[in-house]
Amino acid sequence: MSDFLEYSTTGKPHPFHIVRPSIWPLVGALAAGLLATGVLLYMHGIKLGSFDFGLKGVVVGLSAVAAVMFFWWKDVIFEAVQEKAHSSVAKVGLRYGMALFIASEVMFFVAFFWAFFNASLFPQEAIGFTWPPQGMQVVEPFDLPLLMTMILLLSGCTVTWAHHAILHNSQYEAVKALGLTVMLGMCFLALQIYEYAHAHFGFKDTVYASAFFMATGFHGFHVFVGTCFLVVCYFRAQKGHFTADSHFGFEAAAWYWHFVDVVWLFLFLCIYFWGNVIGVSHIPAAG
């Protein structure tokens, strides 16, 4: 029988997956809160007496989030591979859930684009009624950002290659393509860290800097999460977990990765190119 049959709740066979009680949603929320607190303490340079939090809170928060990701993924993979609980009906729900999650992520980035365009189209007196703000040495779009764009676009090609290989039950090709995608994701993150380290402005240097770091920084975090997702898929592909008929775990990662690619294209065009190359000047009203 193709569909997993569950009896535990009604006494009658049905194809729905009744999830066991799990601690990971609660622990995941606490880990995310810990990470957010660590980031805020670092960004505002808050100290507790003589103790400087620095990056310590960020590292602890990231470690907690990574641990939750590891154990939660382990449980989900056990359900899919060992228990075979993900029936065709259950996978429909998984697809809807992933689609809605990505939709919520789209709105998350819409907020940052809204803030950026509000500041750039209607520059205020505090930044000299010009955009980019006066004295701001912006990032050259056709330098490192263009290279990062090419890397992400290439990673979109390799993840599509992996999908094509899985559909044709070519495990070797899928593993190779996933390995290349992970490598490209790590290269992108390394270049973004390099870009931040050599930026000529800090996070609190005008609204331009804040909008730039918030939008590109959160995108970088999404690339990190997507890379972790693909690493899991890489090891699963090595173990032969994906077949042409059953590979939603990979599909979810591929959807997420393509979403990350598209967001970066908008970031490159709007923030790096439009925001850096086209200046908007407003003459203040006579007082």
CATH number of the domain bearing residue 275: 1.20.120.80
Say how many CA atoms lie within 13 Å of 139 toward its Cβ.
30
Contact residues for 203 (Cβ-Cβ < 8 A; gap 6+) = 43, 209, 210, 213
157 and 27, same domain (yes or no):
no
Domain-embedded: residue 99: yes
Task: Look at residues 37, 58, 84 and tell me which one is the last residue of a structural domain.
Answer: 84
Task: Quote the number of domains for the chain.
Answer: 2
What CATH number did the domain enclosing 35 receive? 1.10.287.70
Amino acid, res. 75 = D
Q: Is residue 204 part of a domain?
A: yes
Which domain does 50 fall in, by range? 18-84
Residues of the chain with pLDDT under 70: 1-14, 277-287
Q: Are 270 and 116 within 8 A, CB to CB? A: yes
Rounded to two decimals, what is the model's pTM? 0.85
Domain end among 39, 54, 84: 84
Looking at residue 2, its pLDDT comes to 46
- Does residue 183 share a domain with residue 108? yes
Q: What is the four-CA torsion angle of 18, 23, 24, 26, rounded to 10 degrees?
A: 110
pLDDT of residue 10: 54
Measured CA to CA, the distance from residue 85 to residue 122 in angstroms comes to 54
| Same-domain pairing of 227 and 154 | yes
Domain shared by 67 and 93, yes or no: no
- Tokens 């990971």: give the residue: 24
Say if residue 168 is in the same domain as residue 28. Answer: no
Name the helix (H) or strand (E) containing 8. none
Q: State the Cα–Cα distance between residues 38 and 112, nearest whole angstrom.
A: 21
Give the bridge partners for 281, in sequence order: 130
Same domain (yes/no): 189, 262: yes
70 within a domain of the structure (yes/no): yes
169 contacts: CB under 8 Å, gap ≥ 6 = 243, 244
* 219 and 104 share one domain: yes
Report if residue 13 sits inside a domain: no
Is the domain of 93 the same as that of 75? no
Q: Which of 49, 84, 119 is the last residue of a domain?
A: 84
